[in-house]
Amino acid sequence: MELFLFPAEKQYTYLSALSGGEKRRLQLLTILFRNPNFLILDEPTNDLDLPTLAVLENFLAEYQGCVMIVSHDRYFMDRLVDHLLVFEGDGVVRDYPGNYTQYRIEQAREEKVKETAASTPAPQPDKKEEADKQKKRKLSYKEQRELEQLDKELPILETEKQNLTEKMSSEGNYEALQKMADRINEIENLLAEKEMRWLELSELAGE
């Protein structure tokens, strides 16, 4: 009960007195308490408040069974998923080992290669080296510094988010929980912005 943010003084509260978020957390607890070996989660981040979501993430991070997740929340997936089924259209389903961000980076690289191959005529043998140099777009000094800064900032933000998520699972004070939830939301917005910029610069750099 305490793992799911129900401290001792709360454990004898009538169900009718629980908040909506607490009722969802209790419902989740009753399901996970049965120790299932296979869970199917359909857009779980849509219906759960941040404290409950933090508890669920911590539980699933240590879960030994199989979890199938359908979600638009890339951060939730990146923390928990190690395997993707990518529906590419026309009945094609790609089996990809890795998380969502890794897939997006590889997808961007593949698209870049296809675009280059489709739009660039094959250079003459004696001019190939010169043509390759012209095709490459080097980062400016400012862009290179920005990319290096993003490489440092992204792990720091991810670590802060993970630490806050772990703290929320053991924090019983509502005001403190709300502050941590607000900060997590702020971090997620920053990560979305910075990861997209990192991806753009990485593609330009040919990494």
- What is the distance between the alpha carbons of residues 41 and 32, in angstroms, rounded to a whole number? 12
- Would you state the pLDDT for residue 174? 67
- Using alpha carbons only, give the angle 192, 78, 146 rounded to the nearest 5 degrees: 40
CATH topology of domain 134-207: Helix Hairpins (1.10.287)
b/e string for 182-201 if b means 16 or more Cβ within 10 A? eebeebbeebeebbeebbeb
Q: pLDDT tens for residues 79-95? A: 888 889 888 888 889 88
Q: What does the buried/exposed string (b/e) look like for 75-90 if buried means 16 or more CB atoms within 10 Å of the residue's CB?
A: bbbbbbbeebeeeeee
Element (H, E) at 46: helix 44-47
pTM of the shown model: 0.48
Distance CA 9, CA 13 (A): 8
* In the chain, ranges of CATH 1.10.287 domains: 134-207
**1-81: CATH number:** 3.40.50.300
Residue ranges, CATH 3.40.50.300, the chain: 1-81
Q: Has residue 169 got a pLDDT over 70?
A: no
Are the C-beta atoms of 85 and 95 separated by less than 8 Å? yes
Give me the phi and psi of 110, to 5 degrees please: -65, -40
3-state secondary structure 135-192: HCCCCCHHHHHHHHHHHHHHHHHHHHHHHHHHHHCCCCCHHHHHHHHHHHHHHHHHHH
Of the chain, the percentage scoring pLDDT greater than 90 comes to 1
Q: Which run of H or E residues covers position 26?
A: helix 20-32
Give tens-digit pLDDT for 30-52.
Answer: 888 888 889 898 888 887 777 77
d(CA 132, CA 123): 9
Rounded to an integer, the average pLDDT of 180-201 is 83
pLDDT at 132: 54
State how far Cα 174 lies from the chain centre: 25
Residue 171, pLDDT > 70, answer no
